[in-house]
Amino acid sequence: MNEIFVNMPTTMAAFVRENEDGSYTIVYNARMDFETLQRAGKHEMGHISRGDLESDAPADLIEERAHRG
């Protein structure tokens, strides 16, 4: 897995994408504080472990499920 830091709007802490080789990259918002980035990383790892990136469900529904736990 790769992790990179990019300046993004503060409405987004991080997102995950699947790479061509099947690995993943978590893109973190470089403008966020350390604690926010830790929570965001755990959240994105949850998407990976649940297989959310392979889902055909709308992103809103995936996020709702993720936040319900």
Euclidean distance between CA atoms 32 and 62, whole angstroms: 23
CA torsion sign for 52, 59, 29, 22 is: positive
Could you report the per-residue pLDDT of 56-67, keeping only the tens digit for each? 888 888 888 888
pLDDT (0 to 100) of residue 57: 85
pLDDT (0 to 100) of residue 66: 83
Euclidean distance between CA atoms 26 and 3, whole angstroms: 5
Could you report the per-residue pLDDT of 10-62, keeping only the tens digit for each? 999 999 999 999 999 999 999 999 999 999 999 999 999 999 988 888 888 88
